[in-house]
């Protein structure tokens, strides 16, 4: 049985990010095994985060993809907001993988196995991983694997989305401003919105997102994008250069096993913000914390999320489950009544209790009181 210092089960964003942090630290010579049946295949994904400066892991090719202004509203009424210090950063998965994979492939301390994990277990001194063809042992196993069954709970709300990167024959976009949320008013029974990231005056990523407990068909999502483009831009010719789709779980309840040597990471560990779906920045923050603990020989546990942020998330999720049509008012009111930087730091769980009180006291209380009366955990 081959022995390693660290085993990574899964080569997605979280697994590759953690390896990146290890390789750029004094632990870079540790023996690492990376297991993924699809290693080297680059998924069609985009990730965004907000920060004053780009994160160290941000690929150089993507450094010009950021915005300081955004719009929010409905089809007929949009308002533009401007950040004070923050920027909204965008990373394309192809550029991310092309930045990380050469570092992994050139490292003599990393072994790659393209196989499926069958079992992960531990004893008092080691962790073990069994694949279809062989077994391995290590001090720690970092597990970021996700499968379709992770999204099968019918009671769990999900962000179901599809996106097209489109290029038009003539200028149609303002490249200085992205659309954070253009709420779809066509249905009063659910909550959905369009999200537009312009990369130039002719090119943009256009996504349609729907909050749903059942998986909305990909055909329906794509149809909504097509109708949006037709309604917004008429008969102007365009071509699709990139497509993505996915499901983001929206839940504060996570059942992944976390022990002394088996460490879940990424969405598997609950690092996705339940009320917004953002994950990338939290992945980097938590990877840095785990790396510091590895270097210091400390137990690999993360400080539990502040209970008040879970409370805030559950209040919003309760509204999303029971009164989805009210979410439009909630989001518009949140940004309309507060400085954009403060709202984004709140959504990123980086605010103090005092700041949160200032934000929440400015909001309309009716729907929140209603949600409190029927409070539940999702």
How confident is the model at residue 301, as a pLDDT? 80
CA atoms of 20 and 43, how far apart (whole Å): 18
In the 8-state DSSP scheme, what is residue 154?
A: T
Confidence (pLDDT) at 152: 47
Domains of the chain: residue spans and CATH: 2-66+91-147+254-296 (3.50.50.60), 157-250 (3.30.9.10), 307-373 (no CATH)
Q: Is the pTM of this model over 0.75?
A: yes
Helices within 154-279 (DSSP H only): 218-233
Type and span of the H or E element at 237: none
Sheet arrangement for strand 69-74 = 78-82, 69-74, 177-183, 191-198, 203-212, 157-168, 238-250
Distance CA 353, CA 359 (A): 10
Closest C-alpha among 107, 57, 23 to residue 284: 57
Element (H, E) at 203: strand 203-212
Distance CA 282, CA 121 (A): 26
- The per-residue pLDDT for 352 is 93
What does the radius of gyration of the chain's CA atoms come to, in whole angstroms? 21
Full pLDDT tens readout for the chain, 378 residues: 899 999 999 999 999 999 999 999 999 999 999 999 999 889 999 999 999 999 999 999 888 899 999 999 988 889 999 999 999 999 999 999 999 999 999 999 999 999 999 999 999 899 999 999 999 999 999 999 986 555 445 567 899 999 999 999 999 999 999 999 999 776 667 899 999 999 999 999 999 999 988 778 999 999 999 999 999 999 899 999 999 999 998 888 776 667 889 999 999 998 999 989 999 999 999 999 999 999 999 988 876 666 889 889 988 888 888 888 888 889 999 999 999 999 999 999 999 999 999 998 888 777 877 777 777 776
Separation CA 37–CA 14 (nearest Å): 16
Which CA distances in Å does 225 have to 44, 170, 220?
17, 19, 9
Phi, psi values for residue 296, rounded to 5°: -90, 0
């Amino acid at each position: 049985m081959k022995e390693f210092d660290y085993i990574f089960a899964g080569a997605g964003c979280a697994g590759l990010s953690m390896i990146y942090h290890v390789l750029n630290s004094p632990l870079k010579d540790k023996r690492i095994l990376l297991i993924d049946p699809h290693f080297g295949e680059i998924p069609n994904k985009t990730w965004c985060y907000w920060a004053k400066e780009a994160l160290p892991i941000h690929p150089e090719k993507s450094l010009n993809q950021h915005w300081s202004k955004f719009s929010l509203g409905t089809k007929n009424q949009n308002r533009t907001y401007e950040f004070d210090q923050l920027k909204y950063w965008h990373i394309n998965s192809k550029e991310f993988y092309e930045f990380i994979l050469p570092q992994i492939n050139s490292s003599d301390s990393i072994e790659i196995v393209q196989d499926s994990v069958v079992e992960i277990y531990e004893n008092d001194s080691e962790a073990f991983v069994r694949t279809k063809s062989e077994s391995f042992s290590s001090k720690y196993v970092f597990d970021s694997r996700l499968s379709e069954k992770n999204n099968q709970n019918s009671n769990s709300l999900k962000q179901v989305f599809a996106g097209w990167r489109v290029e038009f024959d003539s200028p149609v976009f303002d490249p200085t401003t992205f659309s954070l949320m253009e709420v779809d008013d066509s249905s009063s029974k659910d909550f959905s919105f369009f999200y537009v990231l312009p990369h130039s005056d002719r090119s943009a990523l256009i996504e349609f997102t729907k909050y749903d407990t059942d998986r909305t068909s990909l055909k329906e999502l794509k149809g909504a994008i097509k109708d949006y483009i037709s309604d917004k831009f008429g008969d102007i010719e365009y071509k699709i250069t990139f497509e993505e789709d996915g499901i983001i779980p929206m839940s504060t309840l996570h059942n992944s096993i976390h022990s002394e040597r088996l460490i879940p990471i990424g969405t598997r560990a609950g690092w996705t913000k339940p009320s917004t779906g953002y994950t990338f920045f939290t992945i980097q923050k938590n990877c840095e914390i785990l790396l510091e603990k590895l270097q210091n020989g400390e137990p690999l546990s993360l400080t539990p999320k502040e209970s008040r942020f879970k409370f805030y998330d559950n209040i919003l999720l309760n509204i999303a489950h029971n009164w989805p049509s009210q979410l439009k008012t909630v989001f518009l009111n949140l940004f309309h009544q507060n400085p954009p930087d403060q709202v984004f730091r709140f959504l990123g769980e980086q605010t103090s209790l005092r700041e949160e009180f200032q934000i929440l006291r400015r909001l309309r209380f009716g729907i929140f009181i209603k949600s409190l009366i029927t409070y539940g955990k999702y």
